[in-house]
Structure 1
Amino acid sequence: MNKIKWAFTIAASLSLLGCEKYPEPAVDTGEKINLQAIYSVTQSDIDNIAQNLEVNYRVVTNIPTDKCDSKIADGACFEVELSFTAKKAIAAKDWTIHFSQISPIQSFESEDFTVKHLNGDLHVIALQDKFSGFSAAETKKITFRAMFWSLSETDALPNYIVSAPGLDARVIESTVPYIDKDTGLEILPYVEPFTDEKTQFKRTASDKTQWLTSEKLYQRNSVLVEDKLAVIQAIIPTPKSVTLDANDGFADISKGIAISLGNVKHHDVDAAISRLDTLGVKQNSVGLPLHLSIVSNNDKVIGSYSLTVTEKEISIVGVDGNGVFNGLQSLASLVTVGESRLPMIVVDDEPHFTFRGMLVDVARNFHSKEFILKLLDQMAAYKLNKLHLHLGDDEGWRLEIPSLPELTNIGAKRCFDVAEENCLISQLGAGVDENSSVSGYYSVSDYHEILQAATARHIQVIPSLDMPGHSRASIKAMTARYKKFMALEDEAKAKQFLLEDFEDNTQYSSVQFYSDNTINACLESSYDFVIEVMTQVKKIHADAGQPLTRYHIGADETAGAWLESPACKAFVANNDQGVTEMGELGAYFIERVAGILSDLDIETAGWSDGMEHTRVDNMPAIVQANAWDTLAWGGHEKVHRLANRDWQVVISSPDVLYFDFPHEADPKEHGYYWASRHTNTEKVFQFMPDNLPVHAEFWLDREDNAYVADDTKAALAPGKKFLGIQGQLWSENVRTDDMVEHKVFPRLLALAERAWHLADWAVPYNYQGAKYSQQSNSFSDKSKAMRDSQWALFANTLGQKEFTKLELAQIDYRLPTVGAIIQAGKLHANIAFPGLAIEYRVNGGNWLTYQNPTAVSGEVSIRSRSTNGLRTSRITKIK
């Protein structure tokens, strides 16, 4: 690198570091700049600050004040007091602290510090001129206001970084998260617990959300009673038709099962047979005969089967290999671990939806191959058949593309490299270590293993490398490639896959507050990149034996990019593609990428907000649209419009299907909440995906207020149906595999129930259109009673049968907090999933197992424990 370029790179880096005082380099002086001659801070000082600065993060209020910017986010903002206490004296100056804060900071007050938003969630705290250092035990504070709300203690992001130019950055130790040994949950030690419901827990004066106390939970759980017999006979997801033995008879499997494959191929059923073995049902030549067979039936959908269990044998007949596999999983569902009998039963079953999916975001924070393999096992166990693997986003690119090594050499790592020449900058609290678990990618061989495991379980993997928005990782990787080949004086190769116009001065901010995350739609090199990547991904799939037949573009949230791009101005002025204004470029990009996919014989999928702007005539005949529009905000209207285009709509409603949202309304519950403050397993079970507007009769909006769904203007055309439903796990603040499992399970089982089984209590869609509210009565009291009764059985089945199976698969599902009250001096406790153990502690003493109402006196704490005894839930106190 020549000296002028080096000097300007340093200047740009220092700007990102927040060092505005650093002088701009003018011309090449012939000498390298000595940073230590300008900055007095030493590496020893940085190390000392990292070890001895105690950080405390306290949400003061979510109620907007006159210091909030009324022009931004409708004036919504929250206030935080961020304090720093030095355990030892700190005399050094000229250092900064970088930290992640999801919502951009608007304003601040401090005598010692300044704070500035840089990009995405990254902010920098710098020292004011009058900063005089810390004496031992001294505390200095900064109060800031940021956009929107902070309603959860887990909103704060960890790993604050102290740095100075020319020195190694360090993570401030007091901000490093740790894992609680009992619960397995990540703890942010520097975040002060919420105490005030009015100012911290509520976001507006109209917010009716109730903090879920143990007393309120006790009342909610009180309708559940333990029902052991019904659980033994239960299958999840519920079959279409079940006939039980009239005498409640049982088949003996104490000697195992003797499997006869018939005309079934080993590879179609091996994974299901292996699961039976894990549950304790072994193969044995003298065991109960199990006959498998395939009998084609054009009147049945793919995956249909029948299962018969008698005293003398078990029979499973599928319409295809997938159907036999599903029948084996229903047999596994009948198994109670530790029991040597099965209920005698006849099942005739078929799926309600063709598409039964789960999305996992491994781009924001990486999640291991081992986790994905475990997830595939559980998806197959409950008959989900589509894994939407979100592999590329702003914060990471997670799939090896052999011809473009920069995508993973740079785009798969986050560290403290402000020039982003070796990794992406440390977004989302990633820290300084590029080898941390939040970084990483799947090699070609890793991805082959995932695909092969999915194929063995009859699951289609639908990859997604988001574009044109949410593409910062790929943009920065290809810019690094450009610099590499320019240094080698190979301009053609440098520009071959370039994704940004260096002369574009457009000022924009994406939904995640990036100013540089959108692929330029007007560069031919952008489409060359798409062709190269998709050709490579198609080959990887083919080599693994699962052809790539559908790809998810992403296609969402382009946020007004390109307006000042010379390349785009020229394109709009001179193109022959029917694009007449800048606002049409996003749709043009999607249309063109869809055409590229069609040329590669790959079907197009994308998110509804980007796909809806395309011209239908320019799109392929088959298009999948994931509808993620919030129901409480009239989201059904867009869903219906897309379905009326004859597109394949996959319901992905955030109100109920975003599993990164909190399970319950409690500030200690993990997750974002922009569409729902509490999405527990019961709410997922209640979902009627065929009739979206009807939920206005019994669900509430994100502030727990009633809403109206008017379906008279955008009703589905007669006979239109949805392709299926999909659960989503976005991972902006989900940093560990265990936390992903905590978020996904047991909600995934309720997702499977709604994807596979059409409930008899579900309200059929009204193709004439209707208006729904809590005053309409389409969902009758009789239907509600039927739903709640079936939920009680479902909850019992999880607590008494399925959780044990999850534990055998080493799945750290969320253990529910316990409902409890104290009446007449006695503790009364209950739980959302009967069968799980409840423990209590009085005045900080030993934990005791709760059996029946018990006399207590003093401070009482409660928790639940997993069936294997290895984990507990969060501890709550009875107030």
Structure 2
Amino acid sequence: MKKTLFLLVLSGPLLAQSVSLPVPALIPAPQTLEPGKGTFTITAQTRLNVLTPVAAVRRMVTDNLPGIPLSDRTIPNSRPITVRLAAVSGVGPEGYDLSIRPTGILLTAPEAAGLFYGLQTLRQLLPVANSRNGQLLTTTKGQRIPALHIRDQPRFGWRGLMLDVSRHFFDKAFVMRYIDQMAQYKFNIFHWHLTDDQGWRIEIKSLPRLTQVGAWRVPRTGAWGDIENPMPGESTSYGGYYTQEDIREVVRYAADRHITVVPEIDMPGHMMAAIAAYPELTCGNKPVLIPTNGKFYKLEDNTLNPCEDSTFLFVDKVFTEVAALFPGPYIHVGGDEAFKGFWAQCADCKPLMAANSLRTVEELQSYFIKRVETIVQAKGKKLIGWDEILEGGLAPNATVMSWRGMKGGTEAARQGHPVIMTPAQHCYLDLYQGEPTAEPSTYSMCRLTDSYAFEPVPDSVRTELILGGQGNLWTESVPNGRHAEYMTWPRAFALADVLWTPKGRKNWPDFVSRVEAHFRRFDAAGINYAQSLYNPIVAVKKPPLGFYNVFLSHELPDAFLYYTTDSTIPDDRSLLYTKPFLMPKGASLLKVIAYRNGKPIGRMVELTADDLQKRLK
């Protein structure tokens, strides 16, 4: 009988006719999935057969399937789980083939990375309840797994998440927890934003004041834009840093999960923490305090002096130690948002610009980045920078990370440079992800639908130059680990799908079903996440005549919205939203609630007339 090849993971009810158990929701969706008949049951006789002598691979398998005894021989009626390194036709180094039958499981991959990703798929096929903090506690006897065949590999080689640890410090234990969560969803790049204006987080032994001074600031809480400036003489008790041994431990931990750590040392701008430690790094040599906010921008010089050889000696010392700590091929040097006004007034910069035929301060930044690239390459590494490094001319071998939309990445690719796409409107995890009145304070907007709509490859560029993409969690408004998780998930689920699953397989209702299944997994594991997709969305437009028009929407296609304008609390007997409506004159309050399957979901959204007035477009 001819079998049907499913090119997209289908969730529960659609598969129930083919197997005894519905296939659990998989994120990211695999390249191909063919449902089988029956189930595989883990029994007391089940054994792990790992068909490779490589100790690291054997340890990886047992770590990911704890509780099943390891055996080098097949026991009769054991229903073995067999894992082997071997070639798989049409599958690259991160791909795998997973076959689950009632009589046994066979996982095959050409390289260890593929085995790891196959194991993550297998873990997602196990029941939800047996985990803590994202870690599988044990593979329990009696657990049943649906029969199926998956052949899978990623669309992109760069599947990243970035964590900013400068604005707020996250300890080593949390960083490892974050890496564990990434690994479950087949991310393979951890971009570690280690330095910025508000803190220097990596020990540099040859420059001890970077952490003695630069890792600490005065304690402040509150909305980022409203936080008070530091005052001279205040205690600098807030912060922290990673020792070099901490760094090595995190790098090893990530490598065990097939994640490469990419360090970022942001320059020439965003260097106030370093300047607080070594004021001679700037044109003005002016002592500064480490800021608690961003109010200093353009008022205080937070850029390195590009005209002094001593600056590049400083950079060389930093990258000598950074390169030794991170075995991956890349060092990220930032290059973003460097205010050049102080350079334009610097007496030393003018003769250097004339001597090097630099007409603009943008070309002066390019001069700086090109010199830094020479240093980075001397350490055996490749340079990555944000898309501002295009301004004034790209360094010869630079890789561009495009955040201000797709334009910078597109231009870099057209110049023949490798690109990582991470446009803010799709990939910035620090932005609002739902109705702002129901969310913690931040700025701008990136909904789950926005992240899911991300397409990393623009038209008319060489696709091989688009290495992939990543989500970026900036932490100005993220003070602790629980909130970092809240801002990351579920948008990182969407990015995992975008970066792994073949183009053209998007199906929003199916994705929502899978996300909700993983919410239950996160509940069991104690991982925080946002439920913003359940909240109503409110927009306002000015009509030709009258007060203003209110537009309501929702990310879920099967939600119904009910509202009131008379200050009463809405329910499913209130006005049902079917089309935009004119806010009644004199009404002071709009309240909206969403219902799904006859029950309220999400938070009730409440906006005053003043709130609505501010949203007029």
TM-score (norm 2): 0.75
The letter of the residue matching 2:63 is: S
Match of 1:876 in 2: 604
1:83-122 mapped onto 2 (5 Å cutoff) = none
Partner Cα distance (2:602, 2:480) in 1: 17
* 2:128–2:524 contact (8 Å) kept in structure 1: no
Structure 1's 293 and 794: CA in aligned 2 closer, same or farther, altered over 3 A?
same
* Aligned: 1:398 with 2:197: no
Deviates more, 1:325-334 or 1:297-306: 297-306
Verify the 8 A CA contact 1:414 1:426 in the aligned structure 2: no
Q: Which residue of 1 aligns with 2:388?
A: 609
**Residue matched to 1:163:** none
Structure 1 position 426, deviation (Å): 7.0
| Separation in 2, partners of 1:592, 1:539 | 20
Structure-1 residue corresponding to 2:214:
411
SS in 2 for 1:344: strand
Query: Which residue of 531, 537, 551 corresponds with 2:322?
Result: 537
Superposed displacement of residue 271, structure 1: 5.0
Quick one: which amino acid aligns to residue 452 of structure 2?
F
Q: What pairs up with 1:358-377 in 2 under 5 angstroms? A: 358-377=161-180
The alignment partner of 1:261 has SS state of: strand
1:592 alignment partner in structure 2: 371
Over the aligned positions, Cα root-mean-square deviation in angstroms equals: 3.8
For the pair 1:642 / 2:412, whether they are aligned, the reply is yes
Amino acid at match of 2:247: Y
Partner of 2:42: 253
| Deviation of 1:355 (Å) | 0.5
Q: Indicate yes or no: 2:62 matched with 1:289.
A: no
Question: CA 1:650–1:330 in 2, change beyond 3 Å: closer, same or farther?
Answer: same
Q: Distance in 2 between matches of 1:874 and 1:409?
A: 45
Residues 269 and 321 in structure 1, CA contact (< 8 A), matched pair in contact too: no
**1:590-638 CA distance string (max 9 Å, x none):** 011011111111101000122343245xx23xx32111123xxxxx333
SS in 1 for 2:374: helix
1:309 counterpart (86, 96, 100): 100
Please, which of 681, 695, 702 is the counterpart of residue 448 of structure 2? 681
The residue that corresponds to 1:572 in the other structure is 353
Q: Is the 8 A contact 1:500 1:519 kept in 2?
A: yes
Q: Does structure 2 retain, via aligned residues, the 8 Å contact 1:398–1:442?
A: yes
Q: 1:760: which partner in 2?
A: 504
Tell me, yes or no, if the aligned pair for 2:219 and 2:237 is still in contact at 8 Å: no
Q: Whole-Å Cα distance in 1 between the matches of residues 68 and 230 of structure 2?
A: 46
Alignment of 1:648-687 (within 5 A): 648-674=418-444, 677=445, 679-687=446-454
Q: In structure 2, what residue type is equivalent to 1:554? A: G
Number of equivalenced pairs = 517
Larger of the two Rg values belongs to structure: 1
Q: For residues 641 and 877 of structure 1, do their structure 2 counterparts lie closer, same or farther at Cα, with a shift above 3 Å needed? A: closer
**CA distance in 1 between partners of 2:209 and 2:605 (Å):** 51
* Equivalent-residue separation in structure 2 for 1:557 and 1:413 (angstroms): 23
Q: Which residue of 2 aligns with 1:274?
A: 63
Q: Partner residue of 1:795?
A: 512
Aligned-pair distance for 1:642? 0.7
Q: Give matches, 1:377-388, under 5 Å.
A: 377-388=180-191
Instruction: Give me the whole-angstrom Cα distance separating, in 2, the residues matched to 1:256 and 1:474.
Output: 59
Distance in 2 of aligned mates of 1:862 and 1:376: 36
- 1:483-532 deviations in whole A, cap 9, x for unaligned? xxxxxxxxxxxxxxx41233799xxx999455210001111111001110
Matched, 1:239 2:30: yes
CA separation in 1, counterparts of 2:453 and 2:198? 34
Gaps of 5+ in 2: 1-10, 17-21, 130-141, 221-226, 288-293, 537-553, 559-570, 575-590, 596-600, 608-617
Contact 1:394 1:517 in 2 (8 A): yes
Q: CA deviation at 1:746?
A: 1.5
Q: Residue deviations 1:331-369, cap 9 Å, x none?
A: 112122258211111111111001001111111111221
User: How many angstroms does 1:570 deviate by?
Assistant: 3.0
Change (3 A) 1:254 1:284: farther
Letter in 1 for 2:494: A
Conservation of the 8 A alpha-carbon contact between 1:656 and 1:684? yes
Amino acid in the other structure paired with 2:282: E
Partner SS, residue 466 of structure 2:
coil
> Cα–Cα, structure 1 residues 877 and 593, in superposed 2: closer, same or farther, change >3 Å?
closer
1:409 Cα deviation after fit: 1.0
Q: Distance in 1 between the 2:494 and 2:63 partners?
A: 24
Quote the residue 1:813 is aligned against.
Answer: 529
AA aligned to 2:484 is: V
Following superposition, the deviation at residue 534 of structure 1 comes to: 0.6
The residue aligned with 1:441 is 241
Please state whether the residue corresponding to 1:532 is helix, strand or coil.
Answer: helix
Displacement of 1:233 in angstroms is 4.1
Give 1:810 deviation, angstroms.
Answer: 3.2
Contact residue 311 and residue 344 of structure 1 kept, 8 A: yes
Question: After the TM superposition, which residues 194-273 of structure 1 pair with which residues of structure 2 at under 5 Å, given as runs?
Answer: 227=13, 232-245=23-36, 247=37, 249-255=38-44, 257-263=46-52, 265-268=54-57, 270=59, 273=62
Q: Identity of aligned pairs, percent?
A: 28
1:519 aligns with 2:300: no
What does residue 716 of structure 1 align with? 460
User: Cα 1:392–1:444, aligned 2, differ >3 Å: closer, same or farther?
Assistant: same
Normalization by structure 1: what TM-score? 0.54
Name the residue aligned to 1:329.
120
Distance in structure 1 (CA, Å) of the matches to 2:415 and 2:347 = 35
Aligned equivalent of 2:334: 554
Letter matched to residue 187 of structure 2: L
CA contact (8 A) 2:268 2:335 kept: yes
Q: Determine if contact 1:415/1:426 at 8 Å carries over to the other structure.
A: no
Quote the residue 2:146 is aligned against: 343
| Structure 2: distance between partners of 1:346 and 1:315 | 10
Q: 1:833 to 1:459 in 2, by over 3 A?
A: farther
User: 1:302, 1:322 within 8 Å by CA — same for their partners in 2?
Assistant: yes
CA contact (8 A) 1:510 1:559 kept: no
- Name the counterpart of 1:63: none
